[in-house]
Amino acid sequence: MGDVAKAFNQLAERREGLTRELGRVSKVIGREGRMTERASMRGAKGSWAESVESVNAMIEDLVRPTIEVARVLDAVADGDLSQKMSLTIEGRPVRGEFRRIGTTVNAMLDQLSSFAAEVTRVAREVGTEGVLGGQARVRGVSGIWRELTDNVNFMANNLTTQVRNIAEVTTAVANGDLSKKITVDVKGEVRELKNTINTMVDQLRSFADEVTRVAREVGTEGKLGGQATVKGDASDLVLIRSSRSRRRARSPRSPTRSTR
């Protein structure tokens, strides 16, 4: 009976020791996040040693995918979108929920990479190369990624419309066509630029009309004394030219002396 009691006590101690160790490992890994901790049991042999090894193998299988996810997310936080979560560990494919998580993380990285590349391309084309009309195209995006893509495209389209309208009007002015106006709906500083250019076109058109009228009256119809009415410095030039023409036309010529 003494041997039986001794063996029973040893069995109880082993069981209690394993229970304490499993509780410790559960706490330090699950609650404290110390992923390198493993279960250990001094003097364990046979099925006790196998139990400890099985627990440690399970911990390893749980921890490795978690560490892999953390590695990829750290890279994303640092702006590195080239990393991917491995779907195999030591040559063995991950399965079940871990595989679903890995596939989801990798799909997220693909979308982030594609979105970043498209936004960079559109920004470079519009802002650096001056190529207007570019649009970001990201396949399979939804939610906030779709909203961000649409906002980038809306911004690029607005810039394209505004710049092309301004270019159209200024080109027309350079070609002598003063009938064009900037009509695009804009706000802020671009609105100020729009108003400035439209005011300039109005003044140029008024100046051209007045110069044409005075030139026609003086040069074609013979009406002297006409005055151009133009706001700004341009009217001074017209008034000076008109006054000089009037003085020359009204001053009598000096008689020439005949030589006998």
260 residues of the chain, pLDDT tens digit each: 666 676 666 677 777 777 888 888 888 887 888 878 888 777 777 777 888 888 888 888 888 888 889 999 999 999 999 999 988 887 888 888 889 999 999 998 998 899 999 999 998 998 889 888 889 988 878 888 889 899 999 999 999 999 999 999 999 999 999 999 999 998 999 999 999 999 999 999 988 888 888 788 777 766 666 665 656 554 454 554 555 555 555 555 544 444 44
104 shares a domain with 89: yes
User: Do 90 and 113 touch, CB atoms closer than 8 A?
Assistant: no
Number of domains in the chain: 3
162 shares a domain with 88: yes
231 shares a domain with 204: yes
89 shares a domain with 155: yes
Is the residue at 257 inside a domain? no
Domain residues for 59? 1-80
List Cα–Cα distances, 158 to 181, 186, 187, 201, 256, in angstroms.
Answer: 18, 9, 11, 23, 72
User: Do 52 and 41 touch, CB atoms closer than 8 A?
Assistant: yes
Q: Which of 84, 66, 86 is nearest to 75 (CA)?
A: 84
156 shares a domain with 109: yes
User: Do 198 and 181 touch, CB atoms closer than 8 A?
Assistant: yes
115 shares a domain with 56: no
Q: 26, 55, 80 — which closes off a domain?
A: 80
88 shares a domain with 68: no
Query: Strand pairing partners for 89?
Result: 92
List Cα–Cα distances, 203 to 125, 127, 176, 207, 252, in angstroms.
Answer: 35, 32, 14, 6, 37
162 shares a domain with 215: no
**213: CB partners within 8 A, 6+ apart:** 226, 228
96 shares a domain with 64: no
- What are the start-end ranges of the E strands in the chain? 88-89, 92-93
**14: CB partners within 8 A, 6+ apart:** 41, 44, 48
Q: 80, 102, 137 — which closes off a domain?
A: 80
Q: Which of 57, 52, 48, 54 is nearest to 13 (CA)?
A: 48
206 shares a domain with 171: no
User: Do 149 and 138 touch, CB atoms closer than 8 A?
Assistant: yes
